[in-house]
Amino acid sequence: GGPTAPASLDANVHARWLDVRAGLARLSPLERSALVMTALEGHTYDEAATVLGTTAGALRAAVSRARTKLETA
């Protein structure tokens, strides 16, 4: 095995992960899926909209709402 991270780093990473999970839980299913597909998985708005059965415009609005909710949380 390699070197281990300091316990404080592990605690900080864990705390941040809990913040991310809590933020995602506040989003609607469409907002969450739209954000994950575009920001994390790298899909285009058109691709994500097709998969989610909506329009690219509606998907853009969902991503915008999701980002706003996460920023103001």
Q: What is the pLDDT of residues 9-38, one digit of tens each?
A: 688 888 888 888 899 999 999 999 999 999
Pair of tokens at residue 71: 């920023």
Q: What pLDDT, on a 0 to 100 scale, did the predictor assign at position 4? A: 62
Q: Is the pTM of this model over 0.85?
A: no
Cα R_g (the chain), whole angstroms: 16
Pair of tokens at residue 15: 């705390």
CA distance 3 to 8: 15
Is residue 3 pLDDT above 80, yes or no? no
Q: What pLDDT, on a 0 to 100 scale, did the predictor assign at position 34? A: 98
Q: Are 48 and 38 in contact (CB under 8 A)?
A: yes
